[in-house]
A = this chain, B = another copy of it.
Amino acid sequence: MITRNPSLTEQVKAHLKERIVGGDFEAGRIPSETELATDLGVSRTTIRDALSRLEHEGSIYRKQGAGTFVNEPGLQIKSRLEEIWSYEEVLRDHGYTPSVRVGEIQTEPAGDQLAAELKLEPGEPLVVFEKLFLENDLPVVLTTNRIPKRLVSVHIKAADGKKPLYELLEDHCGRFLSYYLSDIVPVALGNHESGQLAVARRTPSISFEEVGFDQDNEPVVKATSLFRDDLLRFRLIRRKAGA
């Protein structure tokens, strides 16, 4: 039962999360850290690590001197903006069973801005393709991915585009996606985008404009994503800095 990977902390976190959503805790009160530690046979530090993660993602809150409690409003959050890793997962979290349509895989030279963002020489070729995520033929997310061609060691075919982006980068570039730096930009959808998303032209939308970095902190992809706000809405918890 006690194994490495996932870590003890992760196991404890998952265990507690299950009991929280299962309503195991009377009146929203979670047992004290010492009690949990002895019950689960781990150190208080491990318990505290797990609780800290649950607190950070909004599932619980803690009051010094008082106790630890279930956070009902925080439990409502389906997809936390800071933890989006693939849009398929997001859609599944919303109860959808998404399908993916991949556009033509093209090669384009990088403009000045893209080159700077991806640490390339201007004009270096990029592999570019669109992905459309649908729920029951209803488009929800439209993303455009741009990968520097010189990172691609295994040729990308149309079918490969269906993989989650992090998987594609591992299989075809040998890079492991570590994090995204994202700008959140308001836009009015143009002709092409509104057509793909099946909404009126100039519909307001959020655009995520982001650069993905690999394990060595090298930029590996520039992605732009547009959303159907009526089908997918993002939430987020904001706290005081340093808490």
Number of residues from A at the complex interface, CB < 8 A: 50
* Cβ contact within 8 Å between B53 and A242: yes
What sequence of 0s and 1s flags, for each residue 66-84 of chain A, a beta carbon within 8 Å of any chain B beta carbon? 0001010110010011111
| Residue ID in chain B nearest A182 by CB atoms | B236
* Cβ contact within 8 Å between A204 and B186: yes
What's the number of copies of this chain in the assembled complex?
Answer: 2
* Cβ contact within 8 Å between A238 and B204: no
What separation, in Å, do the CA atoms of A74 and B84 have in the docked complex?
A: 18
CB distance from A114 to the nearest CB of B (A): 15
* Cβ contact within 8 Å between A237 and B74: no
* Cβ contact within 8 Å between A186 and B183: no
A234 CB contacts on chain B under 8 angstroms: 183-184
* Cβ contact within 8 Å between B217 and A61: yes
Interface segment, one of A35-43, A124-132, A205-213: A205-213
* Cβ contact within 8 Å between B181 and A235: yes
* Cβ contact within 8 Å between A184 and B69: no
A239: which of B13, B61, B82, B204 is its contact (CB, 8 Å)? B82
* Cβ contact within 8 Å between A73 and B182: no
Please provide the 9 A-B residue pairs with the shortest distance between their CB atoms, ordered closest to farther: A83-B241, A186-B204, A180-B238, A204-B204, A179-B239, A188-B204, A184-B234, A186-B206, A182-B236
**15 other A-B residue contacts (CB within 8 Å) besides A186-B206, A202-B202, A210-B238:** A53-B242, A63-B215, A63-B216, A73-B211, A73-B213, A80-B241, A83-B242, A178-B239, A179-B237, A182-B235, A182-B237, A182-B238, A185-B229, A185-B233, A188-B202
Contact surface of A with B, Cβ cutoff 8 Å: 10, 13, 53, 58, 61, 63, 69, 71, 73-74, 77, 80-85, 178-188, 202, 204-206, 210-211, 213, 215-217, 219, 229, 233-242
22 A-B pairs within 8 Å (CB atoms) are namely A13-B242, A61-B178, A63-B216, A73-B181, A73-B211, A81-B81, A81-B238, A82-B236, A83-B240, A83-B241, A85-B241, A180-B237, A181-B237, A182-B235, A184-B206, A186-B204, A186-B205, A186-B229, A188-B188, A204-B204, A204-B205, A206-B206
